[in-house]
Amino acid sequence: MGGAVSAGEDNDELIDHLKAAQYIRSELVEQAFRAVDRADYYLEEFKENAYKDLAWKHGNIHLSAPCIYSEVMEALDLQPGLSFLNLGSGTGYLSSMVGLILGPFGVNHGVELHSDVTEYAKQKLDFFIRTSDSFDKFDFCEPSFVTGNCLEISPGCSQYDRVYCGAGVQKQHEGYMKSLLKVGGVLVMPLEEKLTKITRTGPSAWETKKILAVSFAPLIQPCQSESGESRLVQLR
């Protein structure tokens, strides 16, 4: 996926192109994109590709195309103080941008299947906190990342105001994803090859909007441990 806009020479030029093509439409989303340099989430030897509107994958590390993240950020309708759950949180790039909008009273959780990617995200977050000048302009809701399968979140965990899933959701898991959402909340996920926005308008009432056609790798199904028990993901 990607290739919707031309490449930039740097992060700001990439954002200029995303704005011109109407992928970035709000000032808050624009500010967050400009504050987090996409290249910082690439391995050094691949950074020359960071400002292309293309997805990037190396081993278990994956970044979606900038045009996809733009649509996701706009669809989430983020506001300060909300709780956010990122399923398949990957490098932490999206979670860091979200954290700049949520501010000091938000909640910012990520669940990542691969432990090596969780460690990579923590390293990138540490670098961002140490080197970014964004904190002059933003109060940051620091993301926290845990390793586990996002289909095994403990039933005792709180619901969230905003949820994003970065893998293709099979139809049989749609109800599970909806159950993670508070009333009034927004869920954004790839569902049946469409990036989909679902708003919970009541305890059992939903509004669904298809945003654009996408191609995401599907969610990986949980596998039971040797003891036969699933490993529930705890979020705090």
Look at the chain and report how many structural domains it folds into: 1
What's the pLDDT score for residue 221? Answer: 84
CB 68 within 8 A of CB 123: no
Task: Quick: pLDDT tens for 82-107.
Answer: 999 999 999 999 999 999 999 999 99
CB 83 within 8 A of CB 161: yes
Q: What percent of the chain clears pLDDT 70, i.e. is strictly above it? A: 95
Task: Decide the pairing of beta strands 83-87 and 181-191.
Answer: unpaired
Determine, yes or no, domain membership for 166: yes
Determine, yes or no, domain membership for 220: no
Determine, yes or no, domain membership for 57: yes
CA nearest to 184, candidates 90, 111, 47, 83 = 83
CB 5 within 8 A of CB 54: no
Determine, yes or no, domain membership for 231: no
Concerning whether 64 is annotated as a catalytic residue, the answer is yes
What's the pLDDT score for residue 7? Answer: 83
- Tokens coding 86: 């990122």
Q: Which residue has the higher pLDDT, 219 or 120?
A: 120
Determine, yes or no, domain membership for 64: yes
Query: What pTM, to 2 d.p., does this model score?
Result: 0.94
d(CA 45, CA 91): 16
Task: Quick: pLDDT tens for 39-66.
Answer: 999 999 999 999 999 999 999 999 999 9
d(CA 111, CA 77): 21
Determine, yes or no, domain membership for 236: no
- pLDDT-wise least confident of 2-16, 42-56, 221-235: 221-235
Is the pLDDT score of 229 beyond 70? no
What's the pLDDT score for residue 218? Answer: 86
Using pLDDT thresholds of 50, 70 and 90, give the confidence band for residue 4.
low
181 CA to centre of own chain: 15
Determine, yes or no, domain membership for 58: yes
Is the pLDDT score of 224 beyond 70? no
d(CA 65, CA 54): 4
Query: Which structural domain, as residue segments, surrounds residue 56?
Result: 11-213
Is the pLDDT score of 3 beyond 80? no
CATH number for the domain that contains residue 73: 3.40.50.150
Q: What is the mean pLDDT of residues 176-186?
A: 97
Determine, yes or no, domain membership for 222: no
Using pLDDT thresholds of 50, 70 and 90, give the confidence band for residue 137.
confident
d(CA 36, CA 132): 8
Residue 13 CB contacts under 8 Å (≥ 6 apart), including other chains: 51
d(CA 183, CA 56): 34
Q: Which of 26, 64, 70, 158 is catalytic?
A: 64
Using pLDDT thresholds of 50, 70 and 90, give the confidence band for residue 226.
low
Is the pLDDT score of 223 beyond 80? no
- Tokens coding 95: 């979670």
Phi, psi of 70 (to 5 degrees): -60, -50
